[in-house]
């Protein structure tokens, strides 16, 4: 057994079907009385229903949350926070809405209830990425970790099939990288393996039968575990590549994760054999890189970066940016290998785990 350090994150999780009905008591538990409900414009109706449900504990709505937490949106929300005198936020939505709740918490210390409706996992992390003038900066501080997370399986039934698959594989990516993280530990590795397995068995069922509540519960459970992995240990090459492709080429978040993951795993395979056998076991396959690619295909997700907006001419610049300040990675990050990885991901070639490279 390798020595390790384990930091438990202080958050309360309420999980089940119909758990949204417990929102008012959870707000009371936080000692709050005037909640601001946050959402994207697309989830305005859902947010309005939550506000109505809250009755006198609902202070108002702010439904302008946007991808990558733009600072100008947060500043508009801050004016509403001050005008209404709110004492907590309730974020209902995916990573974009939960990011806004975190940005408000950073500026005010207000407690947060997060109600995730995707599998992205932001609700379980002390990480906030904010965008100012097109530049994204990320920070890690416990001040942004939501105090309470309500996972309600019913709310994920409306997540479109396409988004369910890509968002679920986005979650798997957190667990995959947790298994070979430099600061990995046995507890998080258990969660990672279980999280991958729960999503790998439920996502194909959801693709065929989106209203299957049992599969939806399994997927949300997996997403919780994978989000905990993301919040607890460091991420490596895969997340660096996705941040580069999202930040500099404006590629969509969950789709990018889905396409890149099998290729990042193929690249890292020779340097992380124990992680690879755990990923393979969780997926129920021999080669984890090929298994992740096949899972993406089974849920009808895109498999080629050229299909979501990357141009062949972008590969050189993406390689240069991704290798400039690499995150720690089990295998050395070298330009030729990354160029090959991105070229394969560009056209959607089915990867096979590489062999023989040095860690």
Q: Which of these segments, 23-31, 90-98, 183-191, 306-314, binds ligand NAD (CB under 6 A)?
A: 90-98
Q: Which is nearer to ligand NAD, 121 or 302 (CB)?
A: 121
CB count in 10 Å sphere of residue 47: 24
Residue 44 CB, nearest approach to ligand NAD (Å): 9
* C-beta of 258 vs 353, nearer to ligand NAD: 258
Write the DSSP string, 58-127: EEEEE----TT-BHHHHHHHHHHHHHHT-SEEEEEESHHHHHHHHHHHHHH---EEEEE-SS--GGG-SE
Cβ 199 vs Cβ 171: under 8 Å:
yes
Please state whether beta strands 12-16 and 88-93 pair in parallel, antiparallel, or not at all (unpaired): unpaired
The least distance separating ligand NAD from the CB of residue 99, rounded to whole angstroms, comes to 6
| Whole-angstrom distance, CA of residue 196 vs CA of residue 175 | 7
Beta carbons of 332 and 358 less than 8 angstroms apart: yes
Q: Which of 19, 63, 74, 122 binds ligand NAD (CB under 6 A)?
A: 122
11, 32, 40, 74: residue in contact with ligand NAD (rule CB under 6 A):
40
- The distance of closest approach from Cβ of residue 135 to ligand NAD in the complex, given in angstroms and rounded to an integer, is 14
The residue among 155 and 342 lying less far from ligand NAD, judged by its C-beta, is: 155
Distance, first Cα to last Cα, the chain: 20
Which residue matches tokens 């905990």?
Answer: 228
Window 249-288: residues binding ligand NAD (CB under 6 A)? 253-254
**Closest CB 179 distance from ligand NAD, rounded Å:** 18
Give the 3-state secondary structure of residue 272: coil
Q: How many Cα atoms sit within 13 Å of 23 on the Cβ side?
A: 31
Question: How many residues of this chain interact with ligand NAD, rule: CB under 6 A?
Answer: 28
Residues 143-202 that bind ligand NAD (CB under 6 A): 155-156, 158-159, 167
What is the rounded CA–CA span in Å between residue 107 and residue 223? 28
Binding of ligand NAD by 125 (CB under 6 A): yes
Q: Is 96 in the site for ligand NAD (CB under 6 A)?
A: yes
Rounded least distance, CB 272 to ligand NAD, Å: 22
Is 117 a residue that touches ligand NAD (CB under 6 A)?
yes
Is 28 exposed, middle or buried (CB count within 10 Å of its CB: 0-12, 13-18, 19+)?
A: exposed
Residue nearest to ligand NAD (CB): 95
Nearest distance in Å: CB 172, ligand NAD = 13
129 binds ligand NAD (CB under 6 A): yes
Q: Using CB under 6 A, which of 57, 81, 87, 94 touches ligand NAD?
A: 94
Q: How far is CA 217 from the centre of its chain?
A: 17
Phi (first) and psi of residue 59, to 5 degrees: -90, -30
Nearer to ligand NAD, 184 or 344 (CB): 184
Interface with ligand NAD (CB under 6 A): 40, 42-43, 67-68, 93-97, 99, 117-118, 120-122, 125, 127-129, 155-156, 158-159, 167, 230, 253-254
């Amino acid at each position: 057994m390798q020595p390790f350090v384990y930091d438990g994150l202080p958050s309360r999780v309420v999980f089940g079907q119909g758990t949204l009905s417990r929102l008012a008591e959870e707000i009371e538990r936080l000692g709050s009385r005037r909640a601001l409900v946050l959402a994207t414009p697309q989830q305005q109706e859902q947010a309005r229903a939550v506000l109505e449900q809250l009755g006198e504990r609902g202070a108002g709505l702010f439904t302008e949350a946007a991808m990558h937490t733009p600072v100008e949106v947060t500043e508009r929300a801050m004016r509403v926070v001050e005008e209404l005198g709110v004492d907590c936020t309730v974020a209902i939505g995916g990573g974009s809405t939960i990011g806004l709740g975190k940005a408000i918490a950073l500026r005010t210390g207000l407690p947060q209830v997060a109600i995730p409706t995707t599998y992205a996992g932001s609700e379980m992390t002390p990480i906030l990425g904010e965008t100012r003038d097109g530049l994204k900066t990320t920070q890690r501080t416990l001040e942004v970790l939501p105090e309470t997370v309500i996972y309600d399986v019913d709310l994920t039934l409306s997540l479109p099939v396409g988004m369910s698959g890509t968002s679920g594989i986005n979650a798997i990516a957190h667990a995959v990288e947790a298994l070979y993280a430099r600061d990995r530990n046995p507890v998080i590795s258990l969660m990672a393996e279980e999280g991958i397995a729960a999503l790998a068995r439920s996502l194909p069922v959801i693709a065929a039968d989106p209203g299957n509540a049992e599969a939806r519960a399994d997927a949300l459970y997996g997403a919780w575990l994978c989000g905990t992995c993301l919040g607890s240990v460091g991420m490596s090459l895969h997340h660096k590549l996705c941040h580069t492709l999202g930040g500099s080429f404006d590629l969509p978040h969950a789709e990018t994760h889905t396409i890149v993951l099998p290729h990042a795993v193929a690249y890292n395979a020779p340097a992380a054999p124990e992680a690879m056998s755990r990923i393979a076991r969780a997926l129920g396959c021999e080669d984890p890189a090929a298994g992740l690619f096949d899972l993406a295909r089974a849920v009808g997700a895109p498999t080629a970066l050229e299909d979501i907006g990357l141009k062949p001419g972008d590969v050189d610049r993406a390689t240069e940016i991704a290798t400039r300040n690499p995150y720690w990675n089990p295998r050395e990050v070298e330009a030729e290998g990354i160029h090959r990885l991105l070229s394969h991901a560009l056209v959607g070639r089915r990867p096979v785990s590489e062999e023989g490279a040095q860690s």
